[in-house]
Amino acid sequence: MVNYEELAEELRTISEGVGYDVSILSNASALLWERMDRLNWCGFYLVRDGKLILGPFQGKIACTEIAFGDGVCGTAAVRGESVVVEDVHVFSGHIACDSASNSEIVVPVRKGGALYGVLDIDSPEFARFSDEDRVGLEGVVRALEEVLV
């Protein structure tokens, strides 16, 4: 069982005094990758030029651009809320960057009140992410939003 409050606090600690978002996001994806089990991808897509572009991540090679409204990431970005998908194969418009992914959770990240990007986590297991994971990861993202520069 993941202690998300502990993860959020550790993220704050390792980000203290770091002056670069790319470094903070890199360590955030590594921290989640190390502490969560049954994942095959964990990272960020960032808002740039009217779309989501690939940011720091852990896992296999990934899609480099996602349009707003496309896939789970683009849907979460447009809705401005977390999206949990138990079976990505039945999610309309799912983008299959890794055919081994079967479930996904995406949490929007804001900076200065505006959408900055999304945290995207995939698993090879169906229904890997619970409501407890959603709430916990939203807390981790709130901690991340506090430390982005």
Specify the pTM.
Answer: 0.97
Higher pLDDT, 110 or 94: 110
pLDDT tens readout for residues 98-111: 788 999 999 999 99
Among 85-94, 116-125, 131-140, where is mean pLDDT lowest?
85-94
Both tokens of residue 103? 């479930």
Is residue 4 pLDDT above 90, yes or no? yes
pLDDT band for position 142 (50/70/90)?
Answer: very high
Long-range contacts of 123-130 (CB under 8 A, 24+ apart): 123/38, 123/39, 123/40, 124/38, 124/40, 124/100, 125/38, 126/86, 126/87, 126/102, 127/86, 127/87, 127/103, 128/38, 128/39, 128/102, 128/103, 129/84, 129/86, 129/103, 129/104, 129/105
Residue 13 CA to chain centroid, in angstroms?
19
Measured CA to CA in angstroms, residue 122 lies from 15, 39, 48 at distances of 24, 6, 22
Which range marks the domain in which residue 46 is found?
Answer: 4-147
Write out the DSSP string of 57-111. Answer: EEES---SEE-TTSHHHHHHHHHTS-EEES-GGGSTT---SSTT--EEEEEEEEE
Average pLDDT over all residues of the chain: 96
Domain count across the chain: 1
The rounded percent of the chain whose pLDDT value lies above 90 is 93
Mean pLDDT of all residues in 29-42: 97
The predicted pLDDT at position 101 comes to 94
Higher pLDDT, 61 or 92: 61
Q: What does the buried/exposed string (b/e) look like for 119-139 if buried means 16 or more CB atoms within 10 Å of the residue's CB?
A: bbbbbeeeebbeeebbebbbe
User: At 66, which CATH number?
Assistant: 3.30.450.40
* CB contact at 8 A, 33 and 61: no
